[in-house]
Amino acid sequence: MYNIWLGLNILWETALLAWLPIAVALMLWAVLMGVALGRGGSNWRGGLRVAVPAALGVAVVAFFALPAATQSSLAEMGYWVDWVSLAGLALACGAVVAAYVWPIGAMACRKPAAA
Amino acid sequence: MTPPRETHPLAEVLGDTDRRRWLRGVGAAGLAAGALTLGSAAAVQAQRTQARIVVAGSGAGGLAVASRLRRQLEGATIIVVDRRQEHWYQPGWTLVGSGIWPKSAVVSSNARFMPRGVEWVQEMVAEFDPDANAVVTDGGRRIAYDFLVVATGLHLSYEQIEGMDVAAIGRNGLTSVYASPQAAHDTWRAMDGFRQRGGKAVMTLPSGPLKCAGAPLKMTFMLIDRLRQAGTLERTQVHFHTGLPDNTVFGVKAFNDQVLAMWDADGVQRHHLSRLAAIDIGARRATFVSPEGERQEVPYDYIHVVPSMRAPDAVKNSALAAREGPMAPGGWLEVDRHTLRHRRYGNVFGVGDINGTPRGKTAATVKAGAPLVVRHLSQVIAGQEPDLKFDGYTSCPLILREGSALLVEFDYEGRTVTTVPFVDPMQPSWLAWLMKVRMLKPAYFAMLRGRV
């Protein structure tokens, strides 16, 4: 329980350091979602078919890029805990990208209007 | 001229003893209505009191305690005494000193973290007068208290090294990561210059209590890594001089042995029972002394100086300092190692580096100890006795090279402690490195705000 609380505080303090770009990013996502929800016919299931591959692609790139981005390297993955942590962070990066691609994909794959 | 005496009005009416008895009654009522909250075993529900609490120091310990006290004790007067405007993230200095972080990453402002509703006296405590329940500042102000939290940090005894000049750090191969953020930055500049050429590097470690006892080891590991990166490790000799006994560079055997094995593999030449006594900065010569008094002059191209450490004069020269036992020579605050309450002055507590405890002069110890100090102080205000036992938790993410570290955690007994699930403390790890360079500073800020 304490570690979860500590983790949340770490995320919060980290976010405080970059609050402006995070706020802009959240607003952009909210706008995308609002537009996709507001427009009739958004194909959310279809959007997933775009978002999930995009997320996986980003996750793969992140998996190889994150160690260097943290001034480390894949050679420093010492044991399974490192690999699992890296995979988890890479998937999280993918999930963030998916959150943006999904509404865009939903709008792009709009269902045709009923005749 | 006698400085004006500042006393609480209630003390003048009731007298000090009656005032504290009254405070206890009010505090007990509040504490009796409270309960432990989830998330921290040390937390208790807020209580009402009119206690007057002085916190001497605004470093990690002082701010963490002040923030928690502000939330915990409704109605209390909390006074933080410290002139410093800058807040230094000291756990990051080895990262600055080895070129991982810029200096700006370890400097912020105390104003940013000073809790609202706390009086900030921007002077230094020059004298502690626990018999009169007062502190005296260097501006001559006498501040009375009902309870005192000593969080002054410690004194770096560079003056014990003949010829040492802190202002010269960064020049002539002289480095020391402990003195300040600027010194850490200058240490990196000197390390960066040295690694281009290689030569003879002398790393030092005194015996006695140190803050972040792992820092001299981290700086040695990072020097080796930087030399390896520059391709000059082969033509460099790294010597490690320590005042500690043979085969000892760290107080926890398992980690000590692992460090020694890694250094042996890297060709580090160790010299034990060898204390840095003097330095000729211009000539790049250091003098080491054995316990028998034999002096040895050692030339170097690069030296990392680690000073011995003690309590600041205000504590060392006061009745709060330990009078006997191993903590007496350093003048450390005489606290009970489990309750962090002063052994002779029951209304005084200590947090952080000033404590005369067997281990733990780290930010991690502050993070573990601050909630306990606040809890115990609250209990004493309520007329109760401290009920928890601090186990001396401390942590030292031991940087091994750029990109890898060991997550070293242990208690007073030197037993390994694991707070992060599945982490193997003996395993060089990217996750431990990631925690050091990305997660511990946000956690530290949350600690200053009293949230963790």
Whether the per-residue pLDDT at B34 is higher than 50: the answer is: no
- In this prediction, residue B14 carries a pLDDT of 36
Assess whether B135 carries a catalytic annotation. Answer: no
- Amino acid found at B43: A
- In this prediction, residue B258 carries a pLDDT of 97
Please list every residue in chain A whose beta carbon sits closer than 8 Å to the beta carbon of residue B258.
Answer: none
Mutate to test the interface with A, among B94, B395, B431 (most CBs of A within 10 A): B431
Chain A CB within 8 Å of residue B452 CB? yes
Give the pLDDT band of residue B46 (cuts 50, 70, 90).
Answer: confident
Give the pLDDT band of residue B42 (cuts 50, 70, 90).
Answer: low
Give the pLDDT band of residue B280 (cuts 50, 70, 90).
Answer: very high
Q: State what percent of residues in chain B have pLDDT above 70.
A: 90
Which residues partner with B242 through β-bridges?
Answer: B205
Chain A CB within 8 Å of residue B428 CB? yes
CA distance B406 to chain A (A): 10
> Of B64, B219, B396, B435, which residue is the catalytic one?
B396
Average pLDDT, chain B: 92
The angle that helices B363-381 and B440-448 make with each other, rounded to 10 degrees, is: 20
Q: What is the DSSP string of B127-187?
A: EEEGGGTEEEETTS-EEE-SEEEE----EEEGGGSBT--GGGTTSTTEE-TTS-HHHHHHH
Query: Is the separation of the CB atoms in B55 and B374 below 8 Å?
Result: no
| B39/A82 CB distance under 8 A | no
Which residues partner with B287 through β-bridges?
Answer: B278, B297
What is the arithmetic mean of pLDDT over B219-236?
A: 98
Over the stretch B302-344, which tens digit does the pLDDT of each residue have?
Answer: 999 999 999 999 999 999 999 999 999 999 999 999 999 999 9
What is the arithmetic mean of pLDDT over B194-199?
A: 98
What is the arithmetic mean of pLDDT over B225-240?
A: 98
Chain B CB within 8 Å of residue A14 CB? yes
What is the arithmetic mean of pLDDT over B134-153?
A: 98
What is the arithmetic mean of pLDDT over B37-53?
A: 72
Search chain A and give the residue with CA nearest B403. Answer: A72
- In this prediction, residue A114 carries a pLDDT of 56
Q: Measure Cα distances from B304 to B194, B215, B348, B452 in Å.
A: 12, 11, 37, 34
Whether the per-residue pLDDT at B3 is higher than 80: the answer is: no
Assess whether B396 carries a catalytic annotation. Answer: yes
Search chain B and give the residue with CA nearest A11. Answer: B442
Give the pLDDT band of residue B43 (cuts 50, 70, 90).
Answer: low
> Of B136, B151, B212, B399, which residue is the catalytic one?
B212
Q: Going residue by residue through chain A (115 aa), what tens digit of pLDDT does each one get?
A: 888 999 999 999 999 988 999 999 999 999 999 999 998 888 999 999 999 999 999 999 999 999 999 999 999 999 999 999 999 999 999 999 999 999 999 999 876 665 5
Which has the higher per-residue pLDDT, B132 or B13? B132
Q: Would you say the ipTM is above 0.85?
A: yes
- In this prediction, residue B11 carries a pLDDT of 39
Chain A CB within 8 Å of residue B451 CB? yes
Chain A CB within 8 Å of residue B445 CB? yes
| B442/A9 CB distance under 8 A | yes
Select the residue of A5, A70, A79 nearest B424 (Cβ to Cβ).
Answer: A79
CA distance B364 to chain A (A): 13
pTM of the model: 0.90
Which residue matches tokens 């605050």?
Answer: B333
